[in-house]
Chains A and B, each alone.
Chain A
Amino acid sequence: MPSATELPPDLSNPQYSPSRVSFPMPKNPKIIILIAMGILILVLLFFNFLFSSSRKNPQNINPTPSPVLSTPTPTILPVNIPTQFQDPLNQIDQLLQPESDFLPPELNPQIN
């Protein structure tokens, strides 16, 4: 039995809809903007939290291949080579690197 304070809905009212849940929508645009900004800040904080937690736990990050590793790795590591030979070998490597040609300009020898 409904109590005296709990009045039954007025079914005769044509605007009444039992499935419609009504929220009090603010009519002031400033309040709407403030709410939107608040939601945006919350979303940003959420992503920031996700990012910082994944950085704290590096095992959660999928290993991405580094550019160095993706290139063909040399079969001989420099650490295996005695120290006194590393400097001359580096010099040799530099000399054996391809060098761009300093080609002459294209010109017209016949201007008249």
Chain B
Amino acid sequence: MFWLLPAFLALAQSPSPALFQQYQTDYLYQRDQYTQDYKVYLEKTDIDKQYHSISTQKDKNDAAQKAIASRNLMLKTYLMALRVKLEDYKSANPDATSAIQSNLSSYESWLETNQDLNTRYVAIQQSIYSALVQHQINRQQSGLNLLQNLAGQITNPLLDSLPGKYPQITSHFQQALQLTQKPQYTTFSNFYPEVKTELTKSQNLLIDISTTLKYALSH
């Protein structure tokens, strides 16, 4: 029976991945539901364009209501899954992550009571991509913290160049975060590709540090 103890401890330490899987499953189900409902809505719209009767118009409106409801529910489940995913490496930047989680949570509540997504669509998109960026920064920051901690325990001239690389990584994080604050207007201007470039650079620096550290440790 004692062999179960480490398993329970491991589960207790990282509840987020299991919870995320559950939320992700819910989201994927709702996504399929929305795809079906939206398809029906498009079909009813075509029929209404052809016949334009009271009956076809009613069918179209009913299908639209159903598609709107399932779209908002799908988006809500996505936001919930994303909010849970942010727990994974939250300890790296707890305040910034909590602020984004709170933002996502407010949109989840908004979607429950509102149907016209158009009014908040750009703001929701900005929050979503900001959350994705924060998650990746948190993940890389966790790696950086571990690397710094490990490098601090070793005295080796091969590691002398490492402290110069830490601010470079942080600088890429800052630039990535600045891109998420880009002003948005009537349509969403996606900053994510530019952010990915910054985060790829920081990732490469981290890999470089890790390789140097392994080399120093094995010689």
Please list the residues of chain A having a beta carbon within 8 angstroms of any beta carbon in chain B.
Answer: 75-77, 80-82, 85, 88-89, 91-93, 95-96, 99, 101-105, 107-112
Contacts and interface: CB of A to CB of B under 8 A. Distances in A.
B124 to A, nearest CB: 9
Interface in B138-157: 139-140, 142-143, 146-147, 149-150
Contacts of A76: 211, 214-215, 218
B146 A95 contact: yes
Contacts of B19: none
A101 B132 contact: yes
Interface string B179-219: 00000000000000000000000010011001101110111
Contacts of A105: 27, 31, 34, 74-75, 78
A104 B203 contact: no
Contacts of A93: 210
Interface string B72-100: 00110010011001000000000000000
Contacts of B132: 101-103
B74 A107 contact: yes
A111 B218 CA distance: 61
A75 B219 CA distance: 12
15 contacts: A76-B218, A80-B219, A88-B146, A88-B149, A92-B143, A93-B210, A95-B142, A96-B207, A99-B136, A99-B139, A102-B82, A102-B135, A107-B117, A108-B38, A112-B64
A6 B213 CA distance: 96
B142 A88 contact: no
Nearest to A82: B217
Contacts of B214: 76, 81, 89
Given A77-B218, A91-B146, A104-B78, 20 more contacts: A81-B218, A82-B217, A92-B146, A92-B210, A95-B142, A96-B203, A96-B207, A101-B132, A102-B85, A103-B132, A107-B71, A107-B74, A107-B75, A109-B118, A110-B118, A111-B41, A111-B64, A111-B67, A111-B68, A112-B64
A108 B121 CA distance: 10
Interface string B109-138: 000000001100100010011001001100
A78 to B, nearest CB: 8
Contact of B140 (A88, A95, A112): A95
Nearest to B120: A109
A16 to B, nearest CB: 81
Contacts of A82: 217
A15 to B, nearest CB: 78
Contacts of A91: 146
A32 to B, nearest CB: 58
Nearest to B149: A88
Nearest to B200: A98
Contact of A111 (B71, B128, B129, B211): B71
B115 to A, nearest CB: 9
